[in-house]
Amino acid sequence: MKIAFLVGEFPTLSETFVLNQITGLIDQGHEVEIYASQPQKPGKVHPEVWRYELHKKTFYYEKISQNYLLRLLKSFYLAMIWGRRYPQTMLQVMNLRKYGSYAKSLRLIHEIVPFLKNGLPKYDIIHCHFGPNGVKGMHLRNLGVIQGKLSTVFHGLDVSGHLTQAGSHAYDRLFQEGDVFLPISHRWENRLLELGAPQQRTIVHHMGIDCQEFTFQPRKRCPHEKLHITTVCRLVEKKGVEYAIRAVAALKQAFPDVQYRIVGDGPLMRDLEELILDLQAEDVIQLLGWRQQQEVIEILENSHLFLAPSVTASNGDQEGIPVALMEAMAMGIPVISTYHSGIPELIENGVSGLLVPERDVQALTQALLQFAQQSVQAKPICDAARQKVEHEFNISTLNFRLAEIFKDLVFKKLPEVPTSLRTFHVS
């Protein structure tokens, strides 16, 4: 099959789940091309980007100026350049009645350019990560600049915080015109159904990890060895890193032999640096910035505990199921997280990890202390965690399932996805 991925910025270190799907489908023999925004801060990328020559398969949207006048001038320029060859398309792009604010913002005229350059490509599947990209794919398909069955993955932000601004009817038209909807958890499946998504075309499809890449090694800490705690995430409000820092700072008072490393970057970096200084915890807490996948694995190999205290952000933004949790669990690292979004679908409290309420620093500190004092049996938890990831979050099996969903859409040409494929567990 020929598959187009419509994503946000690409490549980025934080969205390994997109990269894993792309490379997995290529490994199966499918032809993949990517449409994306250029990263605002180009930097390190995962080696798979070069190994699979994804830079040669990626087409970028025209950059959009924040200054509306400059955006308008560039839009006129693009209309002049491409209007000679595609006059009808350029006229449709400005149809305010049909495309509303999307056309008025002039984003659409910038976003059709890579498809015009690529000769109005035809694909079997147009696979969109995040709801707004699904809406974009719908508009592009209506304009005729791309063809194919439309698949949209919903992760969390797109059905939580995004709807605070866009409104609960943001996906009404997409639900009518899209071919399949893939929430990454049952939590978001229920939310999509509440919003009006067609049940027969809504399939829970988890994100996953390559279990072979993450070697299982149960953690064993010597009596006088430091407790090494790790968090891997983007530094935004919903990740709850503030509460992890406060909990580790509190833990330090009762258990000073601790080291906490935070891998990631983001808009809250400066605020978190100041918080660490205010709590006088800079001797035990480090902000490491982003690291490549192999570097992250090396850090995790030397960790005794993984912390992911996710919270609902002030704008309503919520997680999906963090891939970083899956990676830690696959490696045999005990995990502590929160009763948040789809996380309880991955972690059963007391069985495959520990869960505490959101923003509860005291409960988080107590959970950390249990592991610090070795009052909780880590091995049974780690064994159960690895088994859970292998059975339900194995990217290899998930990618084959994804291809089956696509094949069903393309070759059987059914108006709706069969109920038998609607929800599944990977085995």
Residues belonging to the chain: 427
Strands (E), 362-407: none
- My answer on whether omega of the bond before 334 falls inside 30° of 0, hence cis, is no
Closest CA to 188 of 150, 208, 233, 158: 158
| Residue 420 pLDDT exceeds 80 | no
Task: Give me 70's structure tokens.
Answer: 């400059």
pLDDT digits (tens, 9 = 90+) for 81-138: 999 999 999 889 988 888 888 888 999 999 999 999 999 999 999 999 999 999 999 9
* Mean predicted confidence (pLDDT) in 12-39: 92
Residue 414, pLDDT score: 47
* pLDDT above 70: percentage of residues in the chain: 96
pLDDT band per the 50, 70, 90 thresholds, residue 417: very low
* pLDDT above 90: percentage of residues in the chain: 81
Residue 323, pLDDT score: 92
pLDDT digits (tens, 9 = 90+) for 54-72: 999 999 999 999 999 999 9
d(CA 323, CA 184): 11
CATH architecture for the domain at 2-208+395-421: 3-Layer(aba) Sandwich (3.40)
Residue 424, pLDDT score: 40
Residue with token string 């499918």 = 30
| Residue 39 pLDDT exceeds 90 | no
Burial 347-367 (b: 16+ CB within 10 A, else e): beeeebbbbbebbbbebbbeb
pLDDT band per the 50, 70, 90 thresholds, residue 40: confident
Residue 413, pLDDT score: 55
* Mean predicted confidence (pLDDT) in 169-190: 97
- Judged by DSSP in three states, 175 sits in helix
CATH of domain 211-391: 3.40.50.2000
Q: Taking all residues of the chain, what is their mean pLDDT, rounded to a whole number? A: 92
Strands (E), 155-257: 180-183, 227-232
Domain spans of the chain?
2-208+395-421, 211-391
pLDDT digits (tens, 9 = 90+) for 251-305: 999 999 999 999 999 999 999 999 999 999 999 999 999 888 788 889 999 999 9
pLDDT band per the 50, 70, 90 thresholds, residue 43: low
Q: Find the radius of gyration of the CA atoms of the chain.
A: 23
Q: Which residue has the higher pLDDT, 45 or 88?
A: 88
Q: Which residue has the higher pLDDT, 194 or 225?
A: 194
Task: Give me 86's structure tokens.
Answer: 């595609």
Answer for the pair 387, 353: CB distance below 8 angstroms, yes or no: no
Answer for the pair 13, 265: CB distance below 8 angstroms, yes or no: no
pLDDT digits (tens, 9 = 90+) for 216-251: 998 888 878 899 999 999 999 999 999 999 999 999
pTM: 0.90
> Angle at which helices 323-330 and 378-392 pack, to 10 degrees?
120
Residue type, 75: S
Same fold: 2-208+395-421 with 211-391: yes
